Chain A
């Protein structure tokens, strides 16, 4: 609890905002990568404290937003089978696939359950040996270890009615895609603190070496975020580009070795489709050969048609090219209660944050 009050302190935020105003001499565009950071920035109206010359654009780090419509369509097709119990995290139930959401098929009788942890899906599988329990596993490097742990446990228990529909993403290749993009405006990154707590800072050192952009490992409270912005603009003003880690209280430079080794045992790196952005090389995880028996895709009898393009401009939103309010549908046809796309659904989605807090 101490961490909360200390990092939400008004005097500390005012001091940092003052320092930022002192340091900045020219316009800079920074991207906060993680949706949790976006949420905190908008909820705390942090932009009111920043000089007009520092612009924040919101990044792709919302797991609900980037999960492909095809994956949701597969989850929905599985959920509609009477022998399947489909489990996932809360927000995933609301996201529209190409036709409907898991929540809508639940209302028509599908057995869809909301979980807090992948381990809960194992408990459901053990309690329902006659049913197939499918866990729709989404997320970044932060949730990968939990999914891996559940899979390792399922293998140890020789569970034959537990399956995962995997949609795990890796952040650094997405940052590469953004920096290399023709429309890129981002000059410095607030790297995702919780992701770095798992992976360590080494992947971000590689990005700095390749692109010469500042990468500041940043947390989620107002003081953390202003600290990250201050480090980032100070580097830019001095013409530097390096990895800086002011979030050491949570993310040490080496990351979590046990979590990394678990993920490496259960998964392999693969290309991944990001909703709205497209395919990015080596940006996802798939089951390693020794875990293929848990692959829920094998339960699907036929391939599903490709999802049709949506009116949602999530690709531009997730790459910081446009802000939510630049979308013509924002707040009109697209609202949290009837979203056109995923960024309006998730608590980490930029559009939902703007809608709910501004």
Chain B
């Protein structure tokens, strides 16, 4: 390789550049680098505290002896009802999953509805019934809420915000900062289904095998690990920005590098085909029912056996490892993610920039 390529890891990561926009643009909500900038440069400095700085899916709080987790998420999706789920189900599972990723048993949710004038009542009741069913499945109660109606044209039919409280019943702190060198990285399901299902539905794309969202509760998968004594160091669901973006974030937060094997990452044939057609990389496509867990190497087989017993995580597989000190060369000892490609070469993985966009030709 030429000398130009040898110093290729040294650019641009020293300090965040100034915020480069006068207005918020759609890419600031895509879950990639621009979302990160909006958070780090505009939002977080104004609320700065130690808990927020942890950068976890939920805040880890303690009241006397009570260890709780607290989180919130807003759900904005078009279409409201999609193959494999709907906005209501998503609003319950998404918040429940964020609590689970902090090792907490989800207990209570809030539900705020922002409804656009003209939304058919039938659509609203379908979605609320779906929320109720999802809450029952996840063993959580929706105990408080709020309702607003906005003028036609000022909302996308329906926006939902849910906040959730869970109890951290199990010992230890499950967080990015707990990741250890040598940890095995386990992925619970094939990637790319949710984002592709939404894009296909929105654009009217037809596939021979219909793609459905993987939208699901991770409760059975997470509780089986924790109740059976797996010393889980960190978990994260691979939502916006996809598997690649969340692993890059975990590497940065933990300061540890990771190595993944591209051939180990499960991607169904229909997702590979759909992504190929649209020019997307499945590693950056959003998921709503899969997560990564960092577990000690010694407990890997036990963790995989437990996960594969549950329907939501039956495809669980090791996709890589947290590097030990001094390996590999490409990451230069920094919190980065290295991918071994299918043809045996290696490269770094980066966060997505903005939103996923299809290619031109």
Task: Identify the A interface with B (CB < 8 A).
Answer: 1, 4, 8-10, 13-14, 36, 42-50, 52, 55, 63-64, 89-94, 103-104, 106-108, 114, 116, 138-140, 142-143, 194, 222, 323, 325-326, 330-333, 335-338, 346-348, 354-358
Contact = CB atoms under 8 A, between A and B. Distances in A.
A325 B8 contact: yes
B341 interface: yes
A337 B354 contact: yes
B26 interface: yes
Interface string B331-344: 00000000001111
Given A44-B345, A222-B343, A326-B4, A104 B23 contact: yes
B62 interface: no
Contacts of A104: 21-23, 25
A355 to B, nearest CB: 7
Interface in B27-80: 27, 33-34, 37
A323 B276 CA distance: 27
A149 to B, nearest CB: 14
Contacts of B11: 325, 330-332
B358 interface: yes
Given A47-B1, A63-B361, A348-B359, 4 more contacts: A9-B343, A43-B341, A43-B347, A142-B361
B227 interface: no
Contact of B2 (A55, A92, A335): A55
A67 to B, nearest CB: 10
A52 B350 CA distance: 26
A328 to B, nearest CB: 11
A336 B360 contact: no
A94 B27 contact: yes
Nearest to B17: A338
A4 B350 CA distance: 24
A49 B345 contact: yes
A103 B343 contact: no
B7 interface: yes
Nearest to B199: A116
Contacts of A52: 1-2
Interface in B302-361: 341-348, 350, 353-354, 357-361
Contacts of B20: 337-338
Interface string B271-303: 011001001000000000000000000000000
Nearest to A345: B353
A287 B272 CA distance: 38
Contacts of B361: 36, 63, 139-140, 142-143, 194
Nearest to A13: B343
Contacts of A94: 27, 354, 357
Nearest to B8: A358
Interface of B: 1-2, 4-5, 7-9, 11-12, 17, 20-27, 33-34, 37, 203, 269, 272-273, 276, 279, 341-348, 350, 353-354, 357-361
A137 to B, nearest CB: 10
B346 A48 contact: yes
A332 B12 contact: yes
Given A348-B359, A348-B360, A337 B353 contact: yes
11 contacts: A45-B341, A90-B359, A103-B26, A106-B25, A107-B23, A331-B12, A337-B37, A347-B279, A347-B359, A348-B359, A358-B347
A153 to B, nearest CB: 18
Contact of A8 (B12, B34, B203, B342): B342
B1 A10 contact: no
A335 B12 contact: yes
Nearest to A12: B343
B360 A89 contact: yes
Contacts of A336: 33, 353-354
B111 to A, nearest CB: 30
Contact of A10 (B17, B203, B342): B342
B357 A91 contact: yes
Nearest to B350: A356
A62 B172 CA distance: 51
Given A114-B357, A331-B11, A347-B359, A337 B33 contact: yes
Contacts of A107: 21, 23-26
A354 B12 CA distance: 13
B55 to A, nearest CB: 19
Given A1-B273, A4-B272, A107-B25, A44 B343 contact: yes
A140 B360 CA distance: 10
**Closest 7 pairs (CB-CB, A-B):** A331-B11, A90-B357, A331-B12, A45-B345, A338-B20, A336-B353, A107-B23
Contact of B5 (A89, A108, A325): A325
Contacts of B273: 1
B353 A138 contact: no
B1 A325 contact: no
B341 A44 contact: yes
Contacts of A10: 342-344
A333 B15 CA distance: 11
A170 to B, nearest CB: 14
Contacts of A140: 361
Nearest to A323: B4
Contacts of B272: 1, 4
B347 to A, nearest CB: 5
Contacts of A335: 12, 17, 33
B350 A355 contact: yes
A49 B255 CA distance: 30
Contacts of B21: 104, 107
A103 B357 CA distance: 13
Contacts of A143: 360-361
B27 A45 contact: no
B360 A63 contact: yes
A240 B34 CA distance: 49
A89 B34 CA distance: 20
A69 to B, nearest CB: 18
Contacts of A4: 272, 276
Contacts of A347: 279, 357, 359
A356 B351 CA distance: 8
A45 B33 contact: no
A45 B23 contact: no
Contacts of A355: 350
Nearest to A3: B276
Contacts of A139: 360-361
